[in-house]
Amino acid sequence: MKGFPKIRDVAAAAGVSTATVSRALSAPDRVSADTRAIVLKAIEETGYRVNHAARNLRRRQAGGIVVLVPNLANPFFSQILSGITFAMATSGYNVLIADTRQAPNAEHRILDYLHNNRADGLIVLDANLPEDVLSAGDTPNHHPPIVFACEWLDTDPRPTVTIDNEEGAKLAIRHLADLGHTRIGHLMGPPDNILTITRAKGARAALAELGLAIRPDWFFDGDFSLASGAAAAHAWLALNDRPTAVFCASDAMACGFIGELHHKGVRVPDEVSVVGFDDIEIAAHFVPSLTTIAQPRALIGETAARKLLALITEGRENGSATGASDVLPVQLVARESSAPPR
C-alpha cells in the first residue's frame, strides 16, 4: 500500500486534473470521450487502483453489506451466501459475513454493524436476534437498510424475501395423504422460530382440510439439526401408536431421523414414509433418496441482495424506503423416502 500510484499520479500522467480522473471513473459521461480514453490509458500505465477507504470516506458510505447468518457452519446457508455474492459481484460492494451466534459477544458486535458505518445495508438470515438489537433501528436514519431473508419478524414491516412455507407444508402433507397415509406426524424446528410456526401451521391446515387427525403426540420437537432428527427417531420408536408418515421441517432432520431409524432396524419408506424440507444437495443421494420440498436457496440470496441494493440506492435518492416483500415458490420433489403405507 506504500508506493501505490494515486489519483494525482494518474492525473499527472494524463495531463489532466484529479477531478477529471475521478469523473472518468465514476461518471464517464461527464468527460469527453477523448479525455476519457487518455485517462483510462494513464490508469492502465500507472497501474492505478482506487483507494476504497478514501472514496468511502468522501462518499460517506461503507462500501459493503453485511450478511448476518445464525450459524455459518450450517451448510443450509452456503447456497444462500452464494446467491448473495453472485448478485453483489458487479455492484462494487463488498460482502461481509458475520455469525450472529458466535462467541464472544455476538450481540455487541452485531450492534456495531447495525448503527455503524461498517455496512451500507444488511441481509439478516436470523430473525431470532435479541429484540433490542433490531429495534435499535427505530430512528430511521440511524441505521442502514435491512432485508430479511428466509426468516422474518411478524412484527416488523421491513422488506423480506421468503418462500411460501405454509404452502410447502401443505404440499408435503397432501403428498403423503395422496399416497394413502392417514396417520401423519410432523417433526418441527426450534420453538419460537417463525419457520417452525409457519410450517406447522401449514401442516395443521392441510391435515384439517383432509379430515385427518392432528395428534399432539405426533408433533415432535426438533431444531432443524441432524442430531435433533435422530432424537426424534427415538421419540417415534417410543410411541405405542405411531404415525405411518412424518413430515420433517428440514432435510437435515429428515436425514437424522432416517439414519437413526435405520440403526434401529426400521426401514424407510417400508415402515414409515418421510418427507423433508429444503432439498439440500444430498437429498437426492441419500439412502433412500429423500422426498422433499424444494426451495430455491441461491435465488433467495440473489433476490435479497438485489432488493437491498435497490433500497440502498433509493435511500440515497429520496427518503422513501418502501419494502415490498417477495415470496418465492416452493415445489414438491417426490423421491424414494415416501411410499404408500403398508
Partner DNA sequence: TAGTTTCATGCAATCGATTACATCGCTGCA
Partner DNA sequence: TGCAGCGATGTAATCGATTGCATGAAACTA
User: What are the residues binding a second copy (CB under 8 A)?
Assistant: 1-4, 47, 49, 51-54, 56-57, 60-64, 71-75, 77-79, 81-82, 85-86, 89-90, 94-99, 102-105, 109, 112, 115-118, 141-142, 226, 229-230, 252, 255-256, 258-260, 262-263, 281-282, 284-289, 298
Return all residues near 338 (Cβ < 8 A) that are at least 6 apart: 175, 176, 179, 245, 269, 273, 274, 275, 291
207: left (phi over 0), alpha (psi -120 to 50) or beta: alpha
Q: Order of strands, edge to edge, in the sheet holding 291-294?
A: 219-220, 184-187, 245-248, 273-278, 291-294, 331-333
- 62 binds DNA per the rule CB under 7 A: no
- HEC profile of 177-192: HHCCCCCEEEECCCCC
Task: For residues 288 and 248, give the distance between their C-alpha atoms in angstroms, rounded to a whole number.
Answer: 15
Return all residues near 310 (Cβ < 8 A) that are at least 6 apart: none
Q: In this structure, what C-alpha cell is assigned to residue 211?
A: 379430515
- 282 binds DNA per the rule CB under 7 A: no
Among 12, 13, 35, 93, binds DNA (CB under 7 A): 35
User: Given the complex with DNA, which of 5 and 323 has the nearer CB atom?
Assistant: 5
User: Given the complex with a second copy, which of 225 and 325 has the nearer CB atom?
Assistant: 225
- 317 binds DNA per the rule CB under 7 A: no
User: Given the complex with a second copy, which of 177 and 283 has the nearer CB atom?
Assistant: 283
Residue 185's Cα: distance from chain center in Å?
Answer: 27
- 51 binds DNA per the rule CB under 7 A: yes
Hey, which residues between 13 and 32 contact DNA (CB under 7 A)?
A: 15-23, 25-27, 29-32
The one-letter code for the residue type at 27 is A
Report, in Å, the least distance between residue 221 CB and a second copy.
Answer: 18
Q: Say which entry of a second copy, DNA, none residue 138 contacts (CB below 5 to 8 A, set by partner kind).
A: none
Report, in Å, the least distance between residue 265 CB and a second copy.
Answer: 12
Report, in Å, the least distance between residue 93 CB and DNA.
Answer: 14
Hey, which residues between 217 and 276 contact DNA (CB under 7 A)?
A: none
